[in-house]
Each structure stands twice: as structure tokens, then as C-alpha cells.
Amino acid sequence: MSRIVELKDTQREIYFFRLRLFLSLGFVALLFFILLLRFFYLQVIRHDYFETMAESNRIYVVPIVPNRGVITDRNGVVLARNYSGYTLEVTPEKVPDMQATIAEIGKLVEIKPKDLRRFKKLMSERRSLQTLPIRTRLTDDEVARFAAQRYRFPGVEIKARLFREYPFTEVTSHLLGYIGRINQQEIDELEEQEQATNYMGSDYIGKTGIEQRYEAEMHGVTGFEQVEVDAGGRAVRMLSRTAPQSGKNLTLTLDAKLQEIAVQAFGDYRGALVAIDPSNGEVLAYVSKPGYDPNLFIDGIDTENWEALNNSPDVPLNNRALRGQYPMGSTIKPFMALAGLHYNAKMTTREISDPGYYTLPGSSHQYRDWKAGGHGRVDLFKSVQVSCDTFYYGLATELGIDRMHDYLQQFGFGKKTGIDLEGETSGLLPSTEWKMKRYKQIWYPGDTVSAGIGQGYHLVTPMQLAFATATLANDGVAFKPHLVKEIQHPEGEVQIPPQPLYKVDIPAEDLALVKRAMVAVTQPGGTAVGASMGAQYTIAGKTGTAQVIGMKQGEKYDERKVSEYFRDHAWFIAFAPADKPRIALAVLGENAGHGGSVAAPIARKVMDYYLLGKVPTPLKKADEKPGVEND
């Protein structure tokens, strides 16, 4: 009995066991089926997605930054170049404790407080995942020392890079400008211009001057390397490479030596000088004094230097030649003379007797000549030569402001010259319409009187005045002033041709008369007699004095009583040789007093070098004034 029961139990037991085993089999089958579905999902349905993921895992696109174009002067003298060197760069995201890291680095590589200040400034304006230089120009010793300890500094690396350098420093600062680290605003602009990929590896962009204007040419085209990397980011092999195209080199119209001489000639004076070849508009010298060292800006200027530059009363960062707007003073007179001749003004045919002042009909207000007692009998020729104010008060009154405006604008006054630099200002050439628009006021006859001698509302930039002088020198044929002579493409050269703008129609005899008068300015009896003393060529010129503060009726201007920054500006415009001009220029001596005594000698040194190759002996502050105190 018990045997049977036992047997029965065993069979039952086996039955139940096999049932459970069968259930287990179902469980196994179900789970394996789930796995199978998962495989199918990953490997078939979502294969493309994971394929892309795997590719982006292993393939890095590494930008190869092109070499920036080099800038040379017209004779091949290098003005902006690249040199290779090492920097120590930090990726802040990868550095756990910045303070400690910097302290540790400081034990290996010298970090000056200046470097730290600059680094902090960069930190505050950086882009994410950007590497920031904490030290530039490492010595070979420092490179070796750091390299040995590199493993201790995650996120800190040595980079071999090309550095920009401006060997002429402040001499060329205002025309070359500088490059600097790309900021967020510039990134946005690059994205708008669809240039973002081209700047993937670039840290720098032209910020001002030629560097800014010709950014597109000089930057070049970024190359790309597709590299296969392992999980550690180490490049395993190169898959493909698109070579970068170097930026184009620029040859400027500038003559570096001339530029240096011009800067030197200013001595301690502030001011500006623009010299143009009137036959084609090439800018030969472009000075704004004081300048600054553009090299300071490349990797971000440190606060101390920045404040020194920004707070200096001499405003070295102001590009005076391009942006400084000054009353043009008596330099307007040759152009006024031409205007008078153009409109057949009666004044141009007469000889006036100058009492030393001018009064409008029916008014007792006296407009004084700069020379007390007057110049005696004055005709058009003499009016230019001696810079007779009374004559031009009369001429202006006769012409009226609107005719003056219409004629003068042909010489480029009141509008941008179009030179290849950013930020040019347009000066101001007043008219009745302008005054109504600007001040909602009618034009008074008194406004016209002072306008006749370039005071009042008239404002010009040194650039404009140089352009106008060049146009006059070139018999009315105006060329657009430009600084870049040639852009050298990698595959050849492309010349920038002279860009004729237009011709101001001036009858030959009018032109001859005014030019002769301008030559007389630099001859005995003229206001800039010192300018051509001993010159082996003839100089046509015109002096000017721009008043900074107005003088009350009857008050006498005394240079010694006026604070330095309120003294008159000295102007001198000139071209030479007078009969076949090769150079035309405008010189402004800011708060320097009289054109003839300060600005003219500067012009002379520039012309001497340009025309004769004469290098002046280093000059002290231009205080050896010629005998004649005049305007």
C-alpha cells in the first residue's frame, strides 16, 4: 500500500516539477525574446542614430588656423608680423581650484601681477570652454619646467601659437589698429555673416584700423583636419585634411620711414598729420599723436595700462586724423578764393584796404583781423599770402553761406573721404538748410562772416583737409584716399588701382593764381616763411589757426593766459613741388598755437624726407620759433 502511495506521489511530484520547469522555460523564452527585441531595436531600428553617435565619438574636426596676413609698407618694411611662441593657457572649466592652480603654476613659471590682472579681466569676459592665456611668451626654460610637471595641472596646457606683433608700436598704432581676442558680440556678428566655422579655431580678430577693415582678407580660410581620436581624446590617425589658406598680405601705401619722421617731427605736440600722393590718393603718412602701443591689446590689456591710456588728458586712444573734428581756420582761404573766382565775386577783382577789422553794413560789430591794424592794401593773391581775415569776411558775405557750401563740398568737406579705415567722421560744412534742420534757426549774416575764415560751425578732420589739399594740388582731380596699395593673394597679386572719384572743374588760370598765392605763403612776406627756408623745391602752403575758445569783443588772446588744452590749434596744409605736386599734406598741432610756427616745420621735415630723402636730426620740442609771429 505504502509503496503504491509513494509511487503515486513520486509521479505526482514529477508532474508538478515538470510543470514548474515548463513554466521556467516559458520565462526563459519570454526574457530572451525581450532581449531579441532590444537587439533589433538598437541594431536595426536605431542603427543610424547609434552609428552617428559612434562616429561623433571617434571623429574630431580640428580646425587649422590660417596664418594671418602680414602688413608691410610700400617699400616692404614689415609693420605687422607673426612670430611663433609659447603660451600657457587655462581652460577654467577643467580647473577644479583656480586659486591653488595659479599659485602652483607660479612656482614653475613666473606670473607677474600684470599677467594676473589681465587674466582676471579675460575671465570676466570669456566664452565658455575658451582657453585663456595666463602667461604669454614663455622662455624655453619655462616651457621645459612646466612640461615636466604638466600632469599635475589638468586644464592647463602649453600652446605653440603665432603671435601678432607691431614692431613700430605707437608710430603706426592709429592706422594699423590691432587684433584682440574675439568677444561675444563679434561671435554673434560672425554668425550673422556665416563666418563662424571659419573662425572655429581663431582666437583673434581685427579690432580697429587696417586690422579691422581688412579682417576678411588677412584672416584667411581655416583648414580642417578630421582626426580619429580614442576615448582619451588622443589623436590616433588623421582621416582627412583640408589645408588652410593663409590670409592675404597687405602692402600699404604708407612709407614707414616717412611715418617715423612725421611722428618724430611732432616732438611733444599732440596732433595729426596726413600726407597723400595727390596723383593717386595713396596715403603716405598717417599720424595721430599721441599713439599707444597696440601690442598691449592683443591678449587683453591689463587694467593698469588701460586706465593709464583711457584716463590720460592727452587721449592717446583718440584717432585724431580720422575722428578729430576741428575748426579749419584760415586753411579754408585758398578754397574760398577758388569759390570766389568760380562765382566771379567782385571781391576777387578788387583790392581792398584793410583797416584790421570788418563790419557788416548797418552794424557796429567789428570782426577783427588777426593782425591789429590790418594788412593795408590787399587783393586776392595777397589775401592768401598774408592770410587776411578782413578780405574773407567780405568775400564770404558776398558769396553767402549756401554758395560757399555748394562749392566747398566739392573738395570733400562735410563728408567722409572714404579712406579704408573704420570710424571716419564727416566733419561739418554748414549751410542755411543745415542750420535750420539742426538748430531750427535761420542763418544770420554774422555766421557767414566768421565762416569765411573757417571759424564758427565749420569742422574738418585732418584726413579731410589732406584730401582737399591733394585735390587742389592735383588740379581738381580727386582720388579716394587709401592705405592699402596691394592685396597679395596666395596665387598672385591684385593691385588696388587708384580710385578717381571726380574732377572739380577749376579754370586753369584760377588754379594757377591760387597755387601761386599758396607758394607765396612760404616765401618772404608769407605767413609760413620758415617752411621753405632753404628748400630745394617750391612749397605751396597755407597756415591756419583754429580757435578753441571764443574771444569776447575787444579782448585779446594771450597764449600764456590760456590753459594748455584751450590754446589754439595750429594748422598747416601744403603740397610740393608746387608745380608738379608729389605730396600733399595737412598737419594739425593740437593746442600748438600758430600754424606757421609749429605745424609748418613738421610739414617741411616730412616733405624734405619724401622729396629729397633728407633725414632730420632728432628734434626737440619745436620751440625755436621763427622770427615772424603770424597766422
Partner 1 sequence: MINVQQIKRRFMLHLDPVLLYGLGALLFVSLVVLYSSSDGSWMRVLGQLMNILVAFTALWIVANMPLHWLMRIAVPMYVLGMALLIGVALFGEISHGARRWLNIGVATIQPSELMKIAVPLMMAWYFEKHEATLTWRNHLIAAVLLAMPFVLIVRQPDLGTSILIAASGFYVLFLAGLSWRVMGALFVGALASAPFVWGMLHDYQRHRIMMLLDPSQDALGKGYHTIQGMIAVGSGGFLGKGYMEGTQTHLDFLPERSTDFIFAVYSEEFGFLGNLLLLGIYIFIIGRGFIITANASTYFTRLMAGSITLTFFTYTFVNMGMVTGILPVVGVPLPLLSYGGTSMLTLMLGFGVLMSIHTHQRLVKT
Binding site for partner 1 (CB under 8 A): 13, 16-18, 20-21, 24-25, 28, 31-32, 34-36, 38-40, 42-44, 46-47, 49-51, 53-55, 57-58, 228-232, 236
Residue 130 Cβ, how far from partner 1 at the closest point, in Å? 20
Shortest distance, position 231 Cβ to partner 1, whole Å: 4
Q: Judged by CB, which is closer to partner 1: 24, or 495?
A: 24
Q: Residues near 310 by Cβ (< 8 Å), separated by ≥ 6? A: 317
Q: Report, as residue numbers or ranges, the catalytic residues.
A: 330
To the nearest whole angstrom, how small is the minimum distance from the Cβ of residue 310 to partner 1?
43
CB of 15 to partner 1, least distance (A): 11
Q: Using an 8 Å Cβ cutoff, are 408 and 506 in contact?
A: no
Residue 473 CA to residue 467 CA, distance in Å, equals: 10
Nearer to partner 1, 52 or 184 (CB): 52
Closest by CA position to 72, among listed 212, 262, 250, 260 = 250
CB of 2 to partner 1, least distance (A): 11
Helix (H, G, I), strand (E, B) or coil at 76: coil
Strands 270-277 and 583-590: antiparallel
Q: Which phi and psi (to 5°) does residue 482 adopt? A: -150, 155
Residue 42 vs 549, nearer CB to partner 1: 42
| Sequence letter at residue 136 | T
Residue 79 CA to residue 71 CA, distance in Å, equals 5
SS percent in the chain: helix, strand, coil, step 5:
40, 20, 35
Phi–psi pair at 39, nearest 5 degrees: -60, -45
The amino acid at 447:
D
- Comparing CB distances to partner 1, the nearer of 43 and 197 is 43
Burial 226-237 (b: 16+ CB within 10 A, else e): ebeeeeeeeeee
Whole-number minimum distance, CB 9 to partner 1, in Å?
A: 9
User: Strands 484-489 and 249-252: what pairing?
Assistant: antiparallel
Complex with partner 1: residue 40 or 444, whichever CB lies closer: 40
Q: Which is nearest to 573 in space by CA: 508, 527, 630, 626? A: 527
Instruction: Pick between residue 47 and residue 150 the one whose CB is nearest to partner 1.
Output: 47
What is the sign, positive or negative, of the torsion defined by CA atoms of 155, 156, 162, 167? Answer: positive
